[in-house]
Amino acid sequence: MGQESLIVVVVFVVLVGVTIAMGVRIVPQGYKHIVQRLGKYQRTLNPGLNLIIPYVDQVPYKITTKDIVLDIPSQEVITQDNVTIKANAVAYINIVAPEKAVYGVEEYEMAIRNLVQTALRSIIGEQTLDEALSSRDKIKLRLRESISDDIADWGINLKTVEIQDINPSTTMQLAMEEQAAAERQRRATVTRAEGQKQAAILEADGRLEASRRDGAAQVVLAEASGEALERVAKAIGNQDLPITYLLGEKYIAALAELSTSDNAKTVVLPADLPAALKGFINRS
């Protein structure tokens, strides 16, 4: 065999090997390949060993069938009460029909992000700030319902969508913090005023009760003094002498107490002290 024949054989073998390699496609698990024949969609290759027609069939798209996590960028949204808040989300999708995802929409990931952002603006725009901050589950449910049908036409299943953050803007956060601080100050003022009011009431009640008890004590003392006068009058039989006697006793007791006081500088004696003493001596 000549050298030229050997070259032809080698070229033929190489060509056959390349042709066979081009006709064999091994699809890994978790992926599906799109086959186009002369530029037109032919079929979808499943995981495993697949055969295609060399030079005629091509595999331009390799689509994953695993769950895809799409991060929805943060955006500013205006609520129903004209408050600007920032919201972002994350969507979990799964491609169930690769041919629809490839031929049904241009760049399906970008399309889904824009769709979620648009729906999120619409949903939050119908709510007030307090509703948006406290009803994430409702927003998530409405968001899923609003976009599930749209992306189903692209052969994509929306497994779930989660709201990551819903935060007021920086200016609104400062205003809310000032409002919260003012509310706390107001509550503290009301509590302090209520405490002062209760203290004043208790103090007044204490004074009233003390006055009542002082009055009752004075009544008891007066009754005791009256009873003492009556007993002395009965014992002596003279109506003037008992009174004089009791008054003299109280007067002398007061002078004795005054004389023993640390602040006492002068002790005043009655002008008729001898007469008073004589009266007590004669009584005895």
**Rama region for 38: left / alpha / beta (φ>0; ψ in -120 to 50; rest):** left
Q: Determine the Cα–Cα distance for residues 67 and 223; give it in Å rounded to an integer.
A: 100
pLDDT tens per residue across span 9-29: 778 888 888 888 888 889 999
| CA neighbor of 96 nearest in space, from 3, 32, 28 | 32
Could you please state the CATH topology (level 3) that the domain comprising 68-168 is classified under.
Answer: Tetrahydropterin Synthase; Chain A (3.30.479)
pLDDT in tens, 249-260: 666 666 666 666
Percent share of the chain, pLDDT over 90? 23
What pLDDT does residue 200 have? 84
Q: Phi, psi at residue 160, to the nearest 5°? A: -165, 160
pLDDT tens per residue across span 42-74: 999 999 999 988 888 899 999 999 999 999 898
Angstrom distance (rounded) from CA 8 to CA 82: 80
pLDDT of residue 238: 53
Location of structure tokens 């769950």:
67
Would you give the DSSP letter of residue 128? -
Between residues 174 and 113, the one the model is more confident about: 113
Q: Which of 17, 98, 93 is nearest to 59 (CA)?
A: 98
Which pLDDT tens digit goes with each residue over 130-165? Answer: 888 888 888 889 898 889 888 998 999 999 898 888
Residue 36 pLDDT more than 90? Answer: yes
Longest CA pairwise span in the chain (Å): 179
pLDDT greater at residue 99 or residue 273? 99
* Overall size of the chain counted in residues: 284
Is residue 244 predicted with pLDDT exceeding 80?
A: no
Helix (H, G, I), strand (E, B) or coil at 239: coil
Beta strands in the chain (DSSP E): 24-27, 31-37, 40-45, 48-51, 57-64, 68-78, 84-95, 156-168
- In this structure, what token pair is assigned to residue 173? 């956060």
pLDDT at 5 over 80: no
**SS3 of 221, please?**
helix
- Kindly give, in sequence order, each residue whose CB lies less than 8 Å from that of residue 91, ignoring residues fewer than 6 positions away: 69, 70, 72, 112, 113, 116, 158, 160, 161, 162
Residue 275 pLDDT class (50, 70, 90 cuts): low
Q: Please, what is the Cα angle at 199 between 193 and 205, to 5 degrees?
A: 135
Domain residue spans in the chain? Answer: 3-64, 68-168, 170-237, 239-284
Cα separation, 199 vs 154, whole angstroms? 73
Q: What is the pLDDT of residues 89-104, one digit of tens each?
A: 999 999 999 999 999 8
